[in-house]
Amino acid sequence: MAVHQVLGYTESQIKVTIEDIEDDTERESALTTFNRAQTFRRDNSLLQSLKESFNITDEQLDDLFRYAETLEV
């Protein structure tokens, strides 16, 4: 997972953060997005929320996207 490679966060840490979302509908939507999305836009609301929760800087997020561009699927 690119987030772990670049920022050091595990998938489990991210899922725990998502599971802590109080609103049931928002939490389910976030889990679905996290588990099923094939791509993420930089302005994605879940991504922005996680950025805030993990205190990720704009530079770190840029690094994550640059790293993701190098991956082949």
**Cβ atoms < 10 Å from Cβ of 56:** 19
pLDDT reading at 73 higher than 80: no
Q: Which domain holds residue 58?
A: 2-69
Residue 23 phi, psi (nearest 5): -70, 120
- The pLDDT tens digits for 9-20 are 999 999 999 999
User: What is the number of structural domains in the chain?
Assistant: 1
Q: H-helix or E-strand containing 18?
A: helix 11-19
pTM: 0.80
Q: Percent of the chain scored above 90 by pLDDT? A: 70
